[in-house]
Structure 1
């Protein structure tokens, strides 16, 4: 059996998914435990520079940054971790990612996809969409909390992230499933006071401690 990917240096807790390095900087300043740079527009040197800037913002902070999809650039720039979709697992050089010491997160949308993700022994797995979301077109119907509980049990000791339609209002019931982390996009990027939203989400773990 191949060795697992690097373990997380700290619990994922609140997980902000944002579109730019500037947003990464805002999330670092707000104290988000985990941040993902998900940028679908930039390519080439502009993308490389955006990833470098994002990593620089997160360096020496309490925030841990994952780069969505672009594993080559993540390795080259010395990122903390990379997040891949199911379709990326076949094409990405998982050995190179592992040798570079990056953490790996993998998206899943079903029991079968979760089993496939767990087979590569990632640092964490993400499940969604839990609730309806307009952020992107999903390959499956919303999973709901009953399935999320099943996924958490199936993942065992591997940390789990819930994503898709999560808000401050429904966050407590999502956390009650035993999931390790809550990831959001619009709850941050469309907020009038993103820093306050980060603080409110992060407090959910403080309150349950």
Structure 2
């Protein structure tokens, strides 16, 4: 646990709660003025942790928020009740950030940052997450700039067809499906097949990272593949940013029925906080909002400052997926000044 600087909270805790509420204005706040919820401790860490928990953050995310407040309070010698805006205070260190004066001593992990993954130089735009190679080919033909093959092998593949062969066939077909188009293809999870087939990149979830051997990341870098990582809060942002991926996905923003999510929907207020924090990294890591997003949500998504957005059912459940893709891209182009992308 990070050392807890003894900074008196009594006059500052209400202002700190106000800062948290403002930063996450769409959250439902209960018992804001309940003094019984305050800790007996007078440390910056304990107070910030308690405030974050009162706002509904899971324990791991509350710990990251509290660590940021405690680091800044210790550095400056007094409590600061406004929202921390230094990525290094949250532990989001990179090799570039480590060149800032004093940062290496305060955040030694920043000096051990791995090489970055290859960038996605001109933005991701509309990002379609698709179930099979046929959908990939279809959306590439419709002009969707970024595609992800999220293929789940059959429970009962044909005789003599192991799941690995089935996956590789789908990945190869998807790579062939984007050949000659402007679309870039990421493969969800199946990184070995992505390398073999020459895909543009790989997308990994937190569970995928748990199961990954360290040499796998080296193999992806050596092959020149891009890497995207799913995150669901501050703690997972910290883990993902430490790997210096090509982009970080932020979600689930809204409720989704497509998969069981490890956390409640994040909402646009948390999405904005995550996007603004990551935007301060140097070099910045592109961001993608994901989870239950449709055309009607794009104004709020753009206003969050996130760089791109991913959809599933907005295309796969549409009676005219190509027209739906065009409408999403047209609306996003109208909103691009809000994204800074």
Question: TM-score, normalization: structure 1?
Answer: 0.96
Deviation (angstroms), 1:204? 2.4
Q: What is the rounded CA distance, in whole Å, between the counterparts of 1:170 and 1:182 in structure 2?
A: 10
**Cα distance per residue 1:72-128 (max 9 Å; x no partner):** 110111110000011222415100001100000000001010110000000000011
5 Å-filtered alignment, 1:79-158, equals 79-90=199-210, 91-92=212-213, 93-156=216-279, 157-158=284-285
**Which consecutive aligned stretches of 4+ in structure 1 deviate over 4 angstroms post-superposition?**
none
Q: What is the rounded CA distance, in whole Å, between the counterparts of 1:200 and 1:178 in structure 2?
A: 20
Q: What is the rounded CA distance, in whole Å, between the counterparts of 2:121 and 2:258 in structure 1?
A: 29
Deviation (angstroms), 1:63? 0.7
**What's 2:174 paired with?**
54
Deviation (angstroms), 1:208? 3.4
Please give the root-mean-square deviation of Cα atoms over the aligned residues, in Å. 1.2
SS at structure 1 position matched to 2:256: coil
* Residue of 106, 117, 124 corresponding to 1:5: 117
Deviation (angstroms), 1:10? 2.7
> Are 2:153 and 2:166, in contact at CA under 8 Å, matched by a contact in 1?
no
Q: Report which of the two has the higher share of helix.
A: 2
Q: What is the rounded CA distance, in whole Å, between the counterparts of 1:154 and 1:117 in structure 2?
A: 13
5 Å-filtered alignment, 1:168-179, equals 168-179=295-306
Label 1:122 to 1:10 Cα distance change in 2 as closer, same or farther (>3 A). same
**What's 1:31 paired with?**
143
Higher RCO structure (Cα 8 Å, ≥6 apart): 1
Report the number of matched residues. Answer: 209
Q: Report which of the two has the higher share of strand.
A: 1
Structure 1 residue ranges without an equivalent (≥5): none
Which range is displaced more, 73-82 or 150-159? Answer: 150-159
> Are 2:298 and 2:332, in contact at CA under 8 Å, matched by a contact in 1?
no
Q: What is the rounded CA distance, in whole Å, between the counterparts of 1:98 and 1:60 in structure 2?
A: 24
Question: TM-score, normalization: structure 2?
Answer: 0.60
